[in-house]
Amino acid sequence: MTKHIRLVIAVLMLALAVPAVITTTTAYAASKVEIDRDVDSALQKLYESTPAAKVLSEKATAILVFPSIIKGGLVIGGQYGEGALREQGKTSGYFRSVALSYGLQAGAQTFGYALFFMNKEALDYLDKSEGWEVGVGPSIVVVDMGAAKSLTTTTAKDDIYAFFFDQRGLMAGLGLQGTKITKIEPK
């Protein structure tokens, strides 16, 4: 009986994983205009809901914004989204955020996140790495609503600050560990 259950679970995982991989590789890539429009809107929402993000943006060297990450999974999970890097208010590059995970998980959600690069060294690491795996390299601090209330430009001493926003759907936890960020060239 146990062997039968394992076989059913393995077939179910494979059935869910194959369409996810196919969809990710053939997904419609947004244009530069669409990405820039979505990044503008996402930053406006973030600044309205989290004033500390607006204050931090004035000191940041650059901000990498992913306005909409789609995440889903049942034992095996994945997430995908496209965004833009802003330096002095202007787009200087486009990026893709991808992550795969496994473990006790079920659900689907969308969310956005912004990475505030606070120094040139952290930004240089993004430029020099051919596919940056978050968690390797510069230190990242995830700012939750409680920490955001006490965060100021005086207390901001880390390389990168991450803000999550606009979460919809139901899936346990948000995180960046294991996320791979790579440069793209949309049309």
Alpha carbon distance 156, 61 (integer Å): 13
Mean pLDDT, residues 89-117: 92
Distance between alpha carbon 94 and the CA centroid of its chain, in Å? Answer: 13
Name the DSSP class of 60. -
The mean pLDDT value of the chain amounts to 81
Q: Tokens 């009986």 — which residue?
A: 1
133 burial (CB, 10 Å; 0-12 / 13-18 / 19+) is middle
Alpha carbon distance 143, 68 (integer Å): 18
Alpha carbon distance 110, 108 (integer Å): 7
List helix spans (H) across 129-173: 145-150
% of the chain exceeding 90 in pLDDT: 51
The pLDDT of residue 64 is above 80: yes
Which pLDDT value is given to residue 21?
42
pTM of the model: 0.79
Cβ atoms of residues 168 and 112 within 8 Å: no
The pLDDT of residue 182 is above 70: yes
The pLDDT of residue 68 is above 80: yes
The confidence band for 145, taking pLDDT boundaries of 50, 70 and 90, is low
Strand partners of residue 68? none
Residue 164, token pair as written in the block:
């999550």
